[in-house]
Each structure stands twice: as C-alpha cells, then as structure tokens.
Chain A
Amino acid sequence: MTKIQHSAGRFLTRLLTHSMLLCLLLACGLGIGSAASAAPGEPQAQAEEEPRALLEALDTRSFEDKGDAAQAIAESAAEQKTRWLQALLDGRLGKERRGERFYIITDDSGREWPIIDAITFEDAGTGTRRTVEAFKINNDLRTRIEGLLASLSLNAGDEASRLSAAQRLVGEVTAGNADRVRGMRDDEESDAVRDQLDVALALYDVQQGDIEALGTLRGNLDTRVRNTLSSIAAGDSELAAEAQSVLGGIESKRAWYDRAQTLFFGLSAGSILVLAAIGLAITFGVMGVINMAHGELIMIGAYTTWMIQQALPGQPGLALALAIPGGFLVAGAFGVLIERTVIRFLKGRPLETLLATFGLSLILQQLVRSVFSPLNRRVTSPDWLQGAWQINEALSLTLNRLAVLLFCLAVFAGLWALMRYTRLGLEVRAVTQNRAMARAMGVRATRVDMLTFGLGAGVAGLAGVALSQLTNVGPNLGQSYIVDSFLVVVFGGVGNLWGTLVAGMSLGVINQVLQPWVGAVLAKIIVLVGVILFIQKRPQGIFAPKGRTS
C-alpha cells in the first residue's frame, strides 16, 4: 500500500513540477512579449520527460490512473511507446518486484519467462512470477489502450488498422475532434475507410440537428447508428420524424437479415441432424435393422479425427482432411465387423437386434473409456474454420457451421449418386424392394447386406468427423444423437434419402425458430410432440416409399 502511495505521490509531484515548468516558460514568454517562443515549450517539456517516468506512472493499482498513464505514453514522444502499449495490452509489461527496473516479458508460457529491459530492449535473462510483477489491466483499460493504439495507427497504419480505427469512431465524434476527423476524411485514400468516416461524421451531424446528414445513414446496419437514431426519433421535431422514417427502414432491413440468420442457424442445426441420421437411413431404412450402436459409430469417427490430429501435431487442417476418409474407413470397418458377427445372425428378429445393438453400444462406450479416458478429448479447429464470415453488420455466418452445412450437402450428394448410378446402389435398391426376387436374379444378398451396413456405418463416421468441430469429443458423444437420428428417419419416411434430408433440415429450422421463444429444452419437447402427432396422421413419414415393400 505504501509503495503505491509513494509512486502515485511521485507521479503527482512530477506532474506538478512539469506543469509549473510549463507555466514558468509561458510566463517568461509573455513577459518577453513574444508569444511565439512559448509554443515550442510544450513538446519540448514532454520530450525531456524521461521514459522511466512514463513507465513509473503505470505502477499504480487504480485502473483509471493506469489509463491516464497509458494516455500520457501515447501522447509522449518516446520511441518505444507502441511496443510498450502493445506489451501492456498483452499483460507482458512489468516491473521488478524488489527493484526499479521495467521489463517486457517476451514469452509468458511456462513458469520461467525470458524477459528484456523495457527501456533499452536489451536481454535481461529470465524472470518468474516471484520476481516480475506484470501490470494488470481490466476490460475498460483494455478498450482504452486498443483505442490509443488504433489512433496511433490511424495516421500511419495500413488500411485494415485504419478501417478498424474508423469503425471505432462511430458515435465517438465530438465537437473537440470533429474538425480533425473531417480533415482525415478528406485525406483518406481508401473508399471503405472514407465511407466509415462519413457515417461517423453524419451521425455527429444528425446529433447536432443536421437533417441532411440523415441521408447518409439510411439503411445503415450499425447498432450504434440505430441506438442513436432511436433516441433522436423519440423527440417531436421535423428531425425526429425524419429520423423515425430512416429508423423504420433500418429496422425492417435488420428484420430480414435476422430471418436469414435464423434460417442459417436452422439449416446448420439441420445439417448435423441429417449427417447423424443419413447413415441410419441406410441401415434402418433400407435394411430394416434397428441399430442402437449407430451413435457409437459417430463417436468412433470423432475419435478417429482426434487420433489423426494427435499423429500430426501442429497441422489441424491436414489432419481434418485426412480424417474424412479415415473416419469413414474406421467406422465402416467397425460396421462390417458388427454385421458379420452379430446382425446377420439376427436377421428378421427386430427386437433381438435392438437389444443386441444396444448392448454393443454400451460395450463400445466402455471400450473408449478404458482405452482412452473417460475425459473429453480436445479436437482443435484449423484457423480457416474459426471465426465468422461477416456479410454485413447484421448478418454473419460462423465458418465452422457453414463448413459442416456444405459437408453435409456433399455427403448427401455423394450418397445419392452412389445409390442412383452405381451397381452397388442398384443391388441395394433391388434387395430393398424384393429380397427374394433380387436373389433369384443373381444378386448376392448377404454381400449386399454387409456392404450396405458398412456404408451406413462409414457415413456415421463422417458425421463424427464433422461433429468433432462443433462439440465435445467424449465417450457419451453418440448417445446425444441416437434419438434425434431415429426421429429424423421416421419423420422423413423410412428408406428414403430425400426424406431424411428434408426432415432433418425442417426439424433443424423449426427447432431454431422456436428456441429463442421457449428455450432449448421446451423447443425440443415441442418438436418431439409435433413429430409424434405427424406420424399419427401419416405413419409412412413425409416421403412414402414408392412401390410395394413386401
């Protein structure tokens, strides 16, 4: 406590000395009668301020004082200022605990950190938490430092940093900086940055009562614009009426984008359902096998992704690409094994198949628990699957979900083509329609059964690869999807791939439309009840199988 008071006191004294010095200079200048001589006094006083003092000002508990100290650094002429502010932002600028030196921690992983002197940037050996105390920042201070760094780069930085600095300015333009921003706008070369500065200035002008400036804001989706306009529109003037109409336009445009976003969420949730269910649509729909271990085949696909990633450390993208064939093959192999050892002996006995595969699902779960661990495994996403595709202020599509949606459509297209155009597909369809007749025509029904089951299991493995990017990979992964998968297959119409696609997508959309209204749990219940009622009315599902299924 005393140390803090001490340093804060020192800061104050220093500040006082400087301002007194400045006053003295000014007074001298006035006394001599030449005001011009006082003008260079100010930057000079700052330039003389040694870097240490700037850093010492940071050594305080109060985040407000730290912010002021950071501001002082940004305004100073110190060469190191950008690096200091960046290190402060990263929590890597610190002070010796029992001493007076300042350090920048160059790597803060582990328990021993390499450090350099903050002023000279010379190597200073290593430090630990016991010897170096990093300056702490909080959210407000972080935002403030980011603003300072942005304004340092507004004049000098590249286009991207100028754009982010310009975006920061929306709603922040005041009488104090309006002229400076206007000047910046006129000098700006990039169209995108200039448009953003125009919006910031127009918003300021509207706040000042300029009705013309509203035109620039028409259709702008920035929430800060909307919030400012709605406070202006609450008035009773001509400006308010005009602002109201602009606001109406903004709101209706936003509403459309909101709908588009909900649709995307629904399709994305639906694509997961389709991926999980489509393997089942083949085994259950085509072969009539109720496979309760389907969820565990999904889990096997997810664990395959994790294992390939462990084998290729540092290359999550490549690992994911390899996991697509890998997950298919491993899960498919398990599928063939299950068919050969269990299911073929239980042909035509659905109840026993159900119980046997349920037992299998428990065995597979326990196997994973024993071989790996009961804990979740962490599958990292490659960089290009992180973040969102920002279409505009109101609509952004998260990349991992977009990728899963596209992957789902690709898997569906592949499977459909396989069923439609290959010999295996033809034989599968033949066996489905009339097993005895197909055998009489020379189709080896047992081989077809094995391959079909393996195909369904392999597709489940693909679902696991996709799910590893969205959810936790653990022994219980499959359980959460098995019920949903059966729901989709039954709803879509047993034995129909198109039915599965339509059913999965529509259940996803319905769920996501309901979720904001009633919450996640109730939305699921409503969907379940809806499907049950639908099945009562139409037992064959959305798409009835064509022809006779004897």
Chain B
Amino acid sequence: MTTIPLRKWIAGSGLALALTGFGHAAMAQDEGPIRVGILHSLSGTMAISESTLKDEMLMLIDKQNEAGGLLGRQLEPVVMDPASDWSLYAEQARDMLTGDDHVDVIFGNWTSASRKAVLPVVEELNGLLFYPVQYEGEESSENIFYTGAAPNQQAIPAVDYLMSQGVERWALLGTDYVYPRTTNKILEAYLKANGVADDDIMINYTPFGFSDWQSIVSQVKDFGSQGKKTAVVSTINGDANVPFYNELANQGISAGDIPVVAFSVGEQELTGIDTAPLVGHMAAWNYFMSVDSDANYDFIDDWVAYTGNDEAVTNDPMEAHYIGFNMWTQAVEKAGTTDVDAVKDSIIGVTVPNLSGGASTMMPNHHITKPVMIGEIQDDGQFSVVWQTPTTVAGDAWSDYLPGSKNLISDWRAPLRCGKLDVESMTCEDGPGAE
C-alpha cells in the first residue's frame, strides 16, 4: 500500500527536480539582463555606512555596462532597503531569490546579525551573497563569499604590530555584541599564548550608542600609567565612537601615551570628528583611501566623479565590494553562465587586482587573500599607512586560537565540499560533504 505512492512520489519529485534544472538552464541562456541584487540599508542606524556601498555597486554596474556588459548581456541592479532591520534582510533576500525575475547574485549586508539572518535563506534557495565587511569568523557557508577580513586578516596582525612597538598592556574595549565579544575572545587567547599576564589585559564592554565615557577613559588612563607601554584595542562600533574619541581628546590622552587601534573606524566614520587631537591613533584595515597606487587613484577619481562630491571618501568595505564584484564577473565569464553552482565552482582560484597595487585570490574556504595594513589617523581625517604585511594573508574562517575551532577548516572544492571539517578526525560537520 505504502510503497507505491512513495515510489510515485519519488519519481514525481525527480521529474520536478529535472524540470526545475532544465528551467534554470533555459533561463541562463536568456537574452535578458543579468540581475544583480543590492541588499544594503538605506535608512535606519546602519544607513550611514551602508548607503555608500549601494552607490558604489551602482557605479561598478554602470562601468561594467559601459564596457559591454557581461556575456554580452547588460547588468540590471535590483536595489532593496532592509531599513537596518535584521529580519527584513532575510525577507528581502527571499524576495530577491524567488519569483520569475530572481537575481543572479546579491551584494549586501554589513552587521553580523544581518548576515546571520540572511544565511539560511541563501542556503535554502541556493543564492550567492558577497559580504564585504570585516567580521568575527567562526562561520563558513557554501553560498556566501566573505570579501571582508577574517580576524587573522585584521585583529591578529594589528596586535602583532603593537607588540613590535613594545606594547605590554592591553585594554580591549568593545560594544556589547557578537563581533567584539568573539574578536576579543580570540585576541585574549592569542595574547595569553604570547605570554601576556592576566593583569595586563583589561576587557570592557559598553552598550550600543554609549556616550558616558568619562570613567572608562579615566580607567584606561590609570591602567596605562603603570610604567608599561599600553595600547587600546577598540571594537567599539557605530556612533559611540564619536563621544569616545572626544573624551580621549578632552582627557588629553595622545597616541604617544596610549595609542588606540580600532577595527571598526574608517574614513567614513572619521568624517564626523575633528581629527586634530587624534593624530597617531590607529586603525587596522586591508585598504585605506591614502594607499599609494594608480589603481586606487583611478578608483577615487571615478568615485568622486560618480558622486559629484569633491570630499567623497572611500573605505575598506568599498574595496571589498570592488574586489568581490570583479571576482564574480570573472567567474561568470569563466563559467560562461550565471548559474549559481557553476559560478561557485569557477570562482575559487580567481585572482583580481585589488586597490593597493596587488592582487586578491578567492580561496577554497570562500575567503580572499588580502594585505593587512596599519594606518595612523592624520589631521585631515585620512590614514597614513605605517605598516603593511609583506605579502597578502589568506582569510581563515575558523580561528586557530580558539580551542573550539583550532582543528577546523573549510574547503568547498569538489571532493571535500565541507564548511566545517575537523582535520584531526577528518569528519565534516557542515556542508554537502557531510553526507
């Protein structure tokens, strides 16, 4: 009784699958435009950072179309506004990936919370997402390409640099959410592995939008006056940075006494602050607007011309989208189609020029290679690069310094196809390779 309907059902679903596959193939040969989804908040608290990325994507698409499009077809941007609401990101990603006019690729997201919301959607509907912002790692998805920095491409090299400058005491200040907490956990483990005593590490978390910095800054000042060279590692996010830096300046803490190295403060964030008292405080990124290369100067000229604003600034996540977009177009040309599975395979190993005069490669773990730079704030709101890794660094999805993830790797190439592979037991915990 039961076997027949089951068999029928299997046969039927097989047919349906074949049909959908056929439908997709037919659509790929479609002569219509290639749709590029842009999923960045244009309103709400994240608009300050994300709306720039939307404009940059439109510029890149314009340029690609002027140069003849992709596979002989034009690119068509599909812009949505998730309004800084994490669940709205998931809904709109679903809208983009379903229906007749579904997009071939999505460029978007900023906060880790929004990425975590979109992740199950792109995995379920087999979409492609390029995520351009530095993040905490400990994640790998078959459908997401992480073009921002993993902790080993930002936090760890920054700490290495400070150690080479003789820093012995560490104040880790952060906003109270997943990215700072995970990053600080990694950093604390790393510092202790390098022989830093418990007493020489101070960790403090503050809420989003915190503004009463006086006693924390004074505490840091006291912490730094014990005779050992001290630095602040800041994962403070969003607009809490403005009162934080103002308080530093007011209490007279200069970069010569206690330098602050920040992971979430770039050119864009500094436009709202008077930087004269902050000269010498640092940020760690993979790109700065001041980077000395012709590719960068051309990009800035294009950006200034596109926005029509002579004061327009560029920043690290913009470079990440620039790299991500070029990688995707190359992968599509290589595959000869925009089909998601074909592009996922062809993009691994694709190398494109970055804006600092080098090149970035897509690695099998869906992270890219990047140079790491330390920049010091200048009085004109720009950064001056004072240190740079001699070669590019490949992003590591699973940190080597956390006990829970030090044996894990991610490799999405054909035989393994696994996002969470334990190299000791060779067991795969996540991905098609698990079966």
Contact = CB atoms under 8 A, between A and B. Distances in A.
Contact of B252 (A137, A138, A396, A515): A396
Given A90-B379, A109-B380, A265-B214, A476 B209 contact: yes
B297 interface: yes
Interface in B237-280: 239, 242-243, 246-247, 249-252, 255-256, 259, 272, 274, 279-280
A472 B211 contact: yes
B226 interface: yes
Interface string A458-501: 00000000000011101010001000000000000000000000
Interface residues of A, number: 58
Nearest to A268: B214
- Number of chain B interface residues as a range: 35 or more
A388 interface: yes
B340 interface: no
B310 A136 contact: no
Interface string B93-104: 000000000000
Contact of B215 (A130, A262, A521): A262
B386 interface: yes
Interface string A366-390: 0001000011101011000011101
A513 B416 CA distance: 55
Contacts of A272: 212
A520 B280 contact: no
Nearest to B243: A471
A99 interface: no
B292 A133 contact: yes
Contacts of A512: 214-215
Given A136-B385, A227-B226, A388-B252, A474 B239 contact: yes
B210 interface: yes
Contact of B247 (A133, A223, A398): A398
B250 A261 contact: no
B207 A520 contact: yes
Interface string A331-363: 000000000000000000000000000000000
B358 to A, nearest CB: 14
A90 B280 CA distance: 11
Nearest to B374: A138
A142 B219 CA distance: 25
A63 B216 CA distance: 33
Given A133-B292, A138-B376, A387 B252 contact: yes
Interface in B385-413: 385-387
A138 B247 contact: no
Nearest to A376: B239
A401 B251 CA distance: 11
A83 to B, nearest CB: 17
Interface stretch (B7-15, B40-48, B426-434): B40-48
Contact of B227 (A63, A227, A261, A521): A227
Given A386-B250, A399-B250, A520 B239 contact: no
Contact of B386 (A63, A386, A520): A63
Nearest to A128: B297
Given A472-B209, A519-B204, A521-B205, A388 B250 contact: yes
A471 B239 CA distance: 9
A478 to B, nearest CB: 12
B425 interface: no
A143 interface: yes
B274 A380 contact: yes
Contacts of B226: 223, 227
Nearest to B209: A480
A269 B213 CA distance: 10
Contacts of A401: 214
Contact of A398 (B43, B214, B259, B292): B214
B221 to A, nearest CB: 9
A388 B253 CA distance: 11
Nearest to A134: B384
Contacts of B379: 90-91
B278 to A, nearest CB: 12
Contacts of A480: 209, 211
Interface string A415-427: 0000000000000
Given A91-B384, A472-B242, A269 B251 contact: no
Contacts of B48: 375-376
A375 B246 CA distance: 19
Nearest to B273: A378
Contacts of B385: 136
Interface string B195-220: 00000000011110111101110110
Interface string A220-257: 00011001001100000000000000000000000000
Contacts of B44: 374
Contacts of A63: 386
B356 to A, nearest CB: 14
Contacts of B165: 139-140
Interface string A194-215: 0000000000000000000000
Contact of A521 (B207, B239, B256): B207
Contacts of B29: none
Contacts of B259: 139
A232 to B, nearest CB: 12
Interface in B348-381: 376, 378-380
A129 interface: yes
B333 interface: no
A231 B226 CA distance: 11
B243 A515 contact: no
Contact of A110 (B204, B252, B310, B386): B310
B252 A91 contact: no
A400 interface: yes
A447 interface: no
B361 to A, nearest CB: 23
A516 B216 CA distance: 7
B62 interface: no
11 contacts: A136-B385, A138-B280, A140-B165, A223-B226, A369-B43, A387-B250, A390-B252, A396-B252, A472-B209, A519-B204, A519-B206
Q: Which 4 interchain pairs have the tightest Cβ spacing? A: A227-B227, A471-B211, A223-B225, A138-B386
Given A108-B380, A399-B250, 13 more contacts: A91-B384, A138-B376, A374-B43, A374-B47, A375-B48, A376-B48, A401-B214, A472-B243, A480-B209, A516-B216, A519-B204, A519-B205, A521-B176
Interface of B: 43-45, 47-48, 165, 176, 204-207, 209-212, 214-216, 218-219, 222, 225-227, 239, 242-243, 246-247, 249-252, 255-256, 259, 272, 274, 279-280, 290, 292, 297, 304, 310, 376, 378-380, 384-387
